[in-house]
Amino acid sequence: MTQSTDENVIWLTQDAYDRLKAELDHLTGTVRAELAKRIGEARDEGDLRENGGYHAAKEEQGKVEAQIRKLQDMLRRARVGDTPADDGIVEPGMKVTIRFQGDDETETFVLGSRELLSLDSSVDLEVYSPESPLGRAISGKRKGDQATYSAPNGRKVKVEIVDAVPFG
């Protein structure tokens, strides 16, 4: 068994883990069975070269199998924790609002797993990993605290924590 580095970890609450597991179970059970049936019925129709139903079902099967592999990988890398307390302390699972030094506007994002939010298209927030430079700098900070981190270009960036509340 290989140990994953923290950069490969996907931070999930138990609820999020359970949702992903339920989706995986649905895809590997009901959806796979339905697709196999559709492919079998289309195959029974004869010439597969000109069978649109067969090709559509095979294409859908490919997409489902890719989603299954993605979910299996996410669950394998998941580190499950409790939903963070609403105590204003920045940690994975929090929706964080920051203000960059010298800027009047704020930026709000989720500190956690980009993969998880990519499954939920209704979420319109950026996601920063707890292991990113910004994530490491603000972890453990509270509303009103300041933190400094190095941007990819090497420049030091100073931010103020404006708010931190549990995401969800």
pLDDT of residue 3: 36
* Helical spans, DSSP H, in 78-121: 114-118
Residues 6+ apart with CB under 8 A from 46: none
- Separation between Cα atoms, residue 148 and residue 40, nearest integer Å: 59
Assign a CATH topology to domain 94-166: Chitinase A; domain 3 (3.10.50)
pTM of the predicted model, to two decimals? 0.59
pLDDT of residue 42: 85
pLDDT of residue 7: 53
pLDDT of residue 168: 65
pLDDT of residue 126: 85
The class of domain 6-81 in CATH terms is: mainly alpha
Q: Write down the residue that tokens 């068994």 correspond to.
A: 1
Across 14-33, b (16+ Cβ under 10 Å) vs e yields eebbeebeebbeebeeebee
* Two tokens, residue 116: 């998880």
- Cβ atoms < 10 Å from Cβ of 164: 24
- Separation between Cα atoms, residue 65 and residue 75, nearest integer Å: 15
Check if the beta carbon of residue 3 is closer than 8 Å to that of residue 73. no
Long-range CB contacts (< 8 A, 24+ apart) of 104-110? 106/162, 108/163, 110/167
pLDDT of residue 158: 97
Q: Which residues of the chain have pLDDT under 50?
A: 1-5
Domain ranges of the chain: 6-81, 94-166
